[in-house]
């Protein structure tokens, strides 16, 4: 079974590795509900008691999928979901207004078929709504027992401090991996100063750090086809970074994915990666990273091979970048 980690000083204890469920419903090509549910059930068998979703994944379909998979097993997991990204057809916008906070949580509770959400994140910051107002509304939901803990996603150190001053923030979820390390400069230190745990999404660089991803192999509707890091000269450059990871992985007798996850785990006991997968075999491969020990020399070598800012290209297409670090 996986060891447990505490998310900061909030008292929220979770497995050292969680499961990101987004790709089970959208963004990464074809979906298969039966296979996804089998993956969730296998995750529970292996002690992965942290499942991560959001109301916008599949426009609610992902939350309904988790509800179906967890029937009769709800108490086995810390269930995390997010709100704040509204969708209307192809249009998306951010809404953190107090009224939408309550509207969103009620809708998620219904889709998830539960009376509580253990960890509820602000998915993206709405700059039109003061973070203090959003946190005030979330604090009311904590008092009512509808949510257990409050989280933020992809916010700046300044926003994190302002939010935490209103009500304790238990977790900050942002992209973090060997090729996305910029938050080490100010956001991660602020989280640690405040006692906020860190949940790393895309800890495998959206699959790139597995060493198994080629743009030519991606489905036509896979969003990575438009991701700057997966195209043109950026891709050529980034594959060279992956080669360095694969080389060390080969020396240690593990996969590149396991090495990349072990690196995230080694960054601190307050760090919980949530690699996403919809297949049992990749789930099992990922979880084996928890038993991989990295020496100081291993970590130094990886730091040198993939330093902060090493990856070429922005993390998202141009439309998504303005929503980050707000």
Using left for φ > 0, alpha for ψ between -120 and 50, and beta otherwise, residue 179 falls in alpha
CA distance 8 to 121: 15
Q: How many residues does the chain have?
A: 326
Cα gap 137→146, rounded to integer Å:
12
Residue 152 neighbours by CB distance under 10 Å: 29
DSSP 229-281: GGSHHHHHHHHHHHHHHHHHHHHHTS-HHHHHHHHHHTT-TTEEE--B-SSHH
Told to judge if 57 belongs to the known catalytic residues of this protein, a careful annotator would answer yes
Dihedral sign from CA coordinates of 146, 151, 155, 161: positive
The one catalytic residue among 28, 57, 120, 201: 57
Task: Name the DSSP class of 62.
Answer: H
80, with CB counted inside 10 A (0-12, 13-18, 19+), is buried
Distance CA 149, CA 127 (A): 22
Residue 155 dihedral angles phi and psi, to the nearest 5°: -105, 165
Cα separation of 171 and 133, whole Å?
A: 19
Task: Let me know if 163 is exposed, middle or buried by CB neighbors in 10 A (0-12, 13-18, 19+).
Answer: buried
Position of tokens 């803990």?
A: 149
Q: How far apart are CA 73 and CA 10, in angstroms?
A: 24
Report which of 116, 57, 117 is spatially closest to residue 85, judged by C-alpha positions.
57
- Judged by DSSP in three states, 223 sits in helix
Catalytic residues: 57
């Amino acid at each position: 079974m996986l060891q447990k980690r505490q998310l900061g000083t909030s008292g929220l204890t979770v497995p050292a590795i969680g499961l990101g469920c987004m790709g089970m419903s959208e963004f990464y090509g074809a979906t298969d509900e039966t296979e996804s549910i089998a993956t969730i059930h296998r995750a529970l068998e292996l002690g992965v008691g942290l499942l991560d979703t959001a109301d916008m994944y599949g426009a609610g379909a992902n939350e309904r999928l988790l509800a179906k998979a967890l029937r009769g097993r709800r108490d086995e997991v810390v269930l995390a979901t997010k709100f704040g990204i509204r969708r209307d057809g192809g249009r998306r916008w951010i809404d953190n207004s107090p009224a939408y906070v309550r509207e969103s949580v009620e809708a998620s509770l219904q889709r998830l078929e539960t009376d509580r959400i253990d960890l509820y994140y602000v998915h993206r910051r709405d700059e039109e709504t003061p973070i203090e107002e959003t946190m005030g509304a979330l604090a009311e939901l904590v008092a009512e027992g509808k949510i257990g803990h409050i989280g933020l996603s992809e916010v700046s150190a300044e926003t994190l401090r302002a939010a935490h001053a209103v009500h304790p923030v238990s977790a900050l979820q942002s992209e973090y991996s060997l090729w996305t390390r910029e938050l080490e400069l100010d956001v991660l230190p602020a989280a640690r100063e405040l006692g906020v745990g860190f949940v790393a999404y895309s800890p495998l660089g959206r699959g790139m750090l597995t060493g198994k991803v080629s743009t030519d192999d991606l489905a036509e509707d896979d969003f990575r086809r438009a991701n700057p890091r997966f195209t043109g000269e950026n891709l050529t450059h980034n594959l060279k970074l992956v080669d360095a990871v694969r080389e060390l992985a080969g020396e240690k007798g593990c996969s590149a994915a396991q090495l990349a996850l072990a690196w995230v785990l080694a960054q601190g006991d307050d760090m919980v990666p949530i690699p996403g997968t919809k297949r049992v075999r990749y789930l099992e491969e990922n979880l084996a990273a928890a038993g991989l020990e990295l020496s100081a020399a291993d970590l130094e070598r990886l730091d040198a091979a993939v330093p902060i800012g090493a990856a070429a290209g922005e993390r998202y297409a141009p439309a998504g970048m303005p929503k980050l670090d707000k």
